[in-house]
Amino acid sequence: MDDIIYLNNAATTWPKPGPVMQAVEESLRLPYYEEGRSSVPGQTDYLSLTRDALARFFRAGPPEHFVFTQNATDSLNVAIQGFVKRQDRPIHVVTTDLEHNSVLRPLRTLEAGKKISLTIVPSTDGRVSVDAIRQAVREETGMVVMTHGSNVLGTVQDIGSIGAFLKDRGIFFCVDAAQTAGQIPIDLSTVPVDALAFTGHKALFGLPGIGGLYLADPEQVDPIRQGGTGVNSKYPLQTPEMPMKFEVGTPNHPGIVSLLAGIRFVESVGIGEAARSTMATTRVLIDAIRSQPGILLYTKDPDLPVVLFNIEGMHCNTVSRILGRGYGVITRPGLHCAPLIHQRIPGGEESVRASLSYLNTEEECRKAAEYILEVAGSVDKKIEFA
Ligand SMILES: Cc1ncc(COP(=O)(O)O)c(C=O)c1O
């Protein structure tokens, strides 16, 4: 796969680091450790080790307040629906126009069922200020749900200031950290959030199908799923103990192992260094296509490794297809599941996204930029690409 330049890391990172692949392979050699269900000599309790690693990584605890889920979408559903389920009357919820459908659709479904009323705060230059949130909040506001980092514009939100404001008002704060967990430091010992939804398969370098949810106070959220937990089996309802309150059925064990190895990989690089290096690489691509004829660049100075652009005179689907099939440069075209913010990007209602991970190189970015400019130069020439 040497000929692939993979720039679709905001969707899922590839390749996975060697230690992640090795850890998954090694873990499959023995039956997995089942808390309270079985034990085999020599087994490793990856579930506990990973919860400990998450508590260390995000500087929050106790480890049992970290719940394994399928992905960020699943975590957001568990937090959003579970918080609303706990209320005895409809509440007002505030969100933003930067959100992914993993936030918008659960909220709109609850709104359609008259369980919540919804205010969507518009961003300014990709950011939502604490003042904008303050203006949207009402007496009956029970929850604010917002993304930490935009997967479209690559902007990072000031969740520290917003969290502090909401904490004073006693409003539940649910943060979607799908694009930031593993990419930039998140220190929950200083940032007051009630729920942090994250995913394992993006900048944390785990496998697809593993995610997590941190709940500061699990009492604030009702479980939306019920089933076997391996403990407290005589209790007729979902057991209230953490983390089993929110974890039912057989877990994604290879995914959990990959998450642990991914966290250790990021820690071994140092998250500050990973962020610095990835952004330096991203700037090589941005600088090479910025101000070039035919290129409409929407992310000139992002906080995250996201490069959003179009080529004048060519649909983004065509651009992405040509880059992929003609040059082996993997990007993603379209709305990126965040339809509201796209409506506010002049000319970028649909666009191509190139997104990087720590494992991309400057050389890859130089080549990708060369190919993008070549495609832009071909627009009027009717060149056929295979
Ligand atoms: C901002 C944002 N939120 C949520 C998600 C959903 O993540 P997952 O695929 O892990 O459910 C994504 C991923 O595309 C995202 O970019």
- Last-in-domain residue among 208, 240, 269: 269
Residues 169 and 227 in one domain: yes
Pairing relationship of beta strands 5-6 and 329-330 according to DSSP bridges: parallel
- Mean pLDDT for 201-206 is 98
Residue linked to tokens 């000139």:
300
Residue 324: inside a domain: yes
Tens of pLDDT along 230-284? Answer: 888 899 999 999 999 999 999 999 999 999 999 999 999 999 999 999 999 999 9
Cβ proximity of 16 and 258 under 8 Å: yes
3-state secondary structure of 343: coil
CA of 147, closest atom in ligand 1: 1
Closest Cα to atom 7, ligand 1: which residue?
Answer: 72
Give the C-alpha separation, 145 to 213, whole Å.
14
Same domain as 357, residue 344: yes
Tell me, yes or no, whether 386 lies in a domain.
Answer: no
Do 317 and 234 lie in one domain? The reply is: no
Is residue 385 in some structural domain? no
* Any atom of ligand 1 within 6 Å of the Cβ of 305: no
C-alpha–C-alpha distance, residues 31 and 39, integer Å: 9
Query: Residue 204: CB within 6 Å of ligand 1?
Result: no
- The verdict on the CB of residue 177 being under 6 Å from ligand 1 is no
Atom of ligand 1 nearest to the CA of 208: 10
Report the range of poorest mean pLDDT among 25-34, 204-213, 282-291: 25-34
Do residues 164 and 216 both lie within one domain? yes
How large is the average pLDDT for residues 100-117? 98
Point out the domain boundary residue: 234, 269, 304.
269
Residues 130 and 197 in one domain: yes
Hunting for tokens 């919804």 — which residue is that? 118
CA distance 226 to 69: 14
Supply the mean pLDDT for the chain. 94
Residue-by-residue DSSP string for 56-101: HHHT---GGGEEEESSHHHHHHHHHHHHHHT-SS-EEEEEETT--H
Which positions ≥6 away from 168 have C-beta within 8 Å?
Answer: none
CA of 232 to the centre of ligand 1 (A): 33
User: Which residue, of 269, 296, 312, is where some domain finishes?
Assistant: 269
Are residue 295 and residue 313 in the same domain, yes or no? yes
Q: Is the CB of 375 under 6 A from ligand 1?
A: no
Count of structural domains, the chain: 2
Cis bond upstream, residue 243 (ω within 30): yes
* Structural domain span for residue 367: 5-14+270-379
Q: Phi, psi (5° rounding) for residue 160?
A: -65, -50
Mean pLDDT of 198-225: 98
213: pLDDT strictly greater than 80: yes
Structure confidence at residue 383 (pLDDT)? 53
Residue 386 has pLDDT above 70, yes or no: no
User: For residues 119 and 381, which has the higher predicted lDDT (pLDDT)?
Assistant: 119
Which of 70, 335, 337, 341 gets mutated to test ligand 1 (max ligand atoms within 8 A of its CB)?
A: 337
| Structure confidence at residue 342 as a pLDDT band (50, 70, 90) | confident
Query: How far does residue 293's CA lie from ligand 1's centre (Å)?
Result: 32
- Decide: 71 in ligand 1 pocket, CB within 6 A: yes
CATH at 348: 3.90.1150.10
pTM of the model: 0.96
Contact 98, 121 (CB under 8 A): no
Neighbours of 69 (CB within 10 A): 26
Q: How far apart are CA 65 and CA 74, in angstroms?
A: 16
The pLDDT of residue 381 is 61
Backbone angles phi, psi at 150, to 5 degrees: -75, 130
The candidate with the shortest Cα–Cα distance to 289, out of 309, 305, 303, 306, is: 309
Q: Which atom of ligand 1 is closest in space to residue 200's alpha carbon? A: 10
Residue 319 is assigned to a structural domain of this protein: yes
Ligand 1 atom closest to the Cα of residue 151 is 16
Q: Measured in angstroms, how far is the CA atom of residue 60 from the centroid of ligand 1? A: 22
Residue 1 pLDDT > 60? no
55 and 136 part of one domain: yes
For residues 75 and 216, state if they share a domain: yes
332-18-285-321 Cα dihedral, nearest 10 degrees: -30
Tokens of 60: 């929050």
How do 195-199 and 172-176 pair as beta strands?
Answer: parallel
Q: 204: which 2 tokens?
A: 């944390």
Rounded Cα gap, residues 49 and 35, in angstroms:
12
145, 82 Cβ separation under 8 angstroms: no
Q: Is any atom of ligand 1 closer than 6 Å to the C-beta of 99? A: no
Residue 37 pLDDT level (bands cut at 50, 70, 90) = low
176 in contact with ligand 1, CB cutoff 6 A: yes
Residues 108 and 192 in one domain: yes
Find the 80 Cα to ligand 1 centroid distance in Å.
Answer: 15
* Residue 72 Cβ < 6 Å to ligand 1: yes
pLDDT band of 289, cuts 50, 70, 90: very high
Residue 40, pLDDT score: 76
Task: Kindly indicate the confidence band of residue 348, based on its pLDDT and cuts at 50, 70 and 90.
Answer: confident
| Residues paired with 332 in a beta bridge | 353
Quick one: pLDDT band at residue 41, thresholds 50, 70, 90?
A: confident
Residues in CB range of 185: below 8 A, 6 or more apart: 271, 272, 275
pLDDT at 192 over 90: yes
Residue 361 to residues 8, 207, 282, 366, 368, Cα–Cα distance (Å) = 14, 22, 9, 9, 11
Q: Report whether residue 178 contacts ligand 1, using a CB cutoff of 6 Å.
A: yes
Same domain, 167 and 63: yes
The confidence score (pLDDT) of residue 219 equals 98
Give the 3-state secondary structure of residue 107.
helix
- Residue 292 burial by Cβ neighbours in a 10 Å radius (0-12, 13-18, 19+): middle
Residue 206 has pLDDT above 90, yes or no: yes
In a domain, 384, yes or no: no
Report the distance separating Cα 148 and Cα 171, nearest Å: 17
Same-domain check for residues 161 and 135: yes
Domain identity same for 248 and 286: no
Q: How far apart are alpha carbons 277 and 273 in whole angstroms?
A: 6
Nearest CA to ligand 1 atom 16: 151
Most ligand 1 atoms within 8 A of CB, residue of 14, 151, 183 to mutate: 151
Q: What is the domain-level CATH number for residue 42? A: 3.40.640.10
Pocket test for ligand 1, best of 9, 13, 69, 73 (most atoms within 8 A of CB): 73
pLDDT per position as a tens digit, 126-159: 999 999 999 999 999 999 999 999 999 999 999 9
Q: Which H or E run includes 353?
A: strand 351-355
Best of 78, 96, 100, 186 for a ligand 1 pocket test (most atoms within 8 Å of beta carbon): 100
Look up residue 372 and give its two tokens. 């993008």
Structural domain includes residue 344: yes
Mean pLDDT score, 72-99: 98
- Residue of higher predicted confidence among 230 and 209: 209
Structure token pair of residue 384: 């056929």
